[in-house]
């Protein structure tokens, strides 16, 4: 084996994996995916960042081995629909229950039954919410009796994202104030204009904190995205700390021509990614960890 081949193979082995076999769920700006959470092994609830009353806020995506389909459902209880949904997370051990996040920091708890949803609790504002908020990520995970709800301001270009978390009381639907100031995170990529360091995030059952980053240079692109593991939630009984951010985030994949705004885990622990490609519609893809 010559030196050139050795170097090439080494580079390929060291490079992050890239999932390229995306499944389109349709075309058009109104079906872009801005949050995703599992319903069962093949179906996922997704949210859309639409603003007009007649545009969909929720859809159910069914993912097959080679194709995926999307079916929009009506917003809950025929109530006034939320504006600009940007985050979605399932509530562990509460089948069919979810939290949805508006970009300005309002969180609503809903329950899905078949193709019908209802609001089960009054909405609340996240503790770090301001008039200037532009939040794009929400993730909930439980560790024993402790359920942690994390959220993030997305950041822009050289301005880092700001990650916060607090203890969420599932029974009473209340959130404690963060014990720490927001953690800044600046994604190494994308580096194009209109880059957002956190476009979504997910917390694994092992406590691993995963995020997507994306750049959006207009409704027709070009788009770029990346996926990182940036920290670990783990209780330190001595210090009382929960989150241990990595000094160097672990890059796991990079993508051209898609804008990842949705990130979560499948039933078997793989990452599922959803895109909001504006005029180009939306796609989903499963990325093996």
Provide the residue-wise pLDDT of the chain in tens; the chain has 289 residues: 443 333 233 333 344 455 547 999 999 999 999 999 999 999 999 999 999 999 999 999 999 988 999 999 999 988 889 999 999 999 999 999 999 999 999 999 999 999 999 999 999 999 999 999 999 999 999 999 899 999 999 999 999 999 999 999 999 999 999 989 999 999 999 998 889 999 999 999 999 999 999 998 889 999 999 999 999 998 876 666 788 899 999 999 999 999 999 999 998 999 999 999 999 999 999 987 6
User: Of 32, 63, 61, 62, which Cα lies nearest the Cα of 48?
Assistant: 32
Give burial (CB, 10 Å; 0-12/13-18/19+) of 89: buried
- Calpha distance 13→134 (Å, rounded): 37
| pLDDT score recorded for residue 1 | 43
Contact 150, 162 (CB under 8 A): no
- Calpha distance 185→152 (Å, rounded): 10
- Has residue 20 been placed in a domain? no
CATH code of the domain in which 230 resides:
2.115.10
| pLDDT score recorded for residue 235 | 82
Strand partners of residue 70: 61
User: How many independent structural domains does the chain possess?
Assistant: 1
- Has residue 12 been placed in a domain? no
Asked if residue 190 has a cis previous peptide bond (ω within 30° of 0), the answer is yes
- Has residue 3 been placed in a domain? no
Range of the domain at 94: 28-287
| pLDDT score recorded for residue 11 | 36
- Has residue 23 been placed in a domain? no
- Has residue 197 been placed in a domain? yes
- Has residue 15 been placed in a domain? no
Other CB atoms within a 10 A radius of the CB of residue 103 amount to 20
The structure tokens listed for 116 are: 């019908």
Asked if residue 222 has a cis previous peptide bond (ω within 30° of 0), the answer is yes
Tallying the residues shown for the chain, one arrives at: 289
User: Of 232, 236, 267, 265, which Cα lies nearest the Cα of 250?
Assistant: 232
In degrees rounded to 5, what are phi and psi of residue 205?
-65, -25
- Has residue 111 been placed in a domain? yes
- Has residue 11 been placed in a domain? no
| Dihedral over Cα of 235, 238, 240, 246: its sign | negative
| pLDDT score recorded for residue 124 | 97
């Amino acid at each position: 084996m010559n030196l050139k081949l050795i170097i090439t193979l080494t580079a390929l082995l060291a490079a992050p994996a890239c999932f390229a076999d995306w499944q389109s769920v349709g075309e058009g700006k109104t079906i872009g995916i801005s949050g995703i959470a599992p319903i069962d092994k093949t179906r996922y609830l997704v949210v859309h960042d639409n603003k007009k009353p007649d545009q969909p806020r929720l859809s159910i995506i069914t993912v097959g081995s080679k194709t995926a389909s999307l079916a929009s459902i009506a917003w809950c209880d025929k109530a006034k629909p939320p504006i600009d949904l940007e985050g979605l997370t399932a509530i562990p051990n509460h089948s069919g229950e979810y939290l949805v996040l508006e970009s300005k920091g309002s969180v609503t708890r809903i329950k899905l039954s078949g193709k019908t949803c209802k609001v089960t609790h009054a909405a609340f504002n996240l503790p770090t919410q301001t008039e200037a908020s532009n939040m794009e990520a929400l993730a909930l995970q439980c560790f024993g009796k402790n359920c942690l709800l994390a959220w993030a301001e997305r950041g822009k270009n050289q301005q880092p994202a700001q990650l916060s978390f607090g203890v969420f009381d599932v029974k009473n639907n209340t959130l404690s104030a963060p014990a720490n100031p927001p953690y800044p995170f600046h994604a190494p990529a994308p580096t194009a204009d209109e880059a957002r360091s956190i476009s979504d995030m997910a917390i694994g059952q092992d406590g691993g904190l995963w995020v997507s980053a994306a750049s959006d240079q207009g409704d027709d692109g070009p788009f770029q995205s990346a996926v990182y593991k940036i920290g670990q939630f783990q209780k330190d009984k001595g210090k009382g700390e929960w989150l241990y951010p990595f000094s160097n985030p672990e890059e796991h994949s990079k993508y051209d021509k898609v804008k990842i705004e949705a990130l979560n885990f499948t039933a078997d622990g793989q990452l599922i990614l959803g895109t909001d490609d504006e005029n180009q519609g939306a796609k989903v893809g499963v990325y093996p960890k």
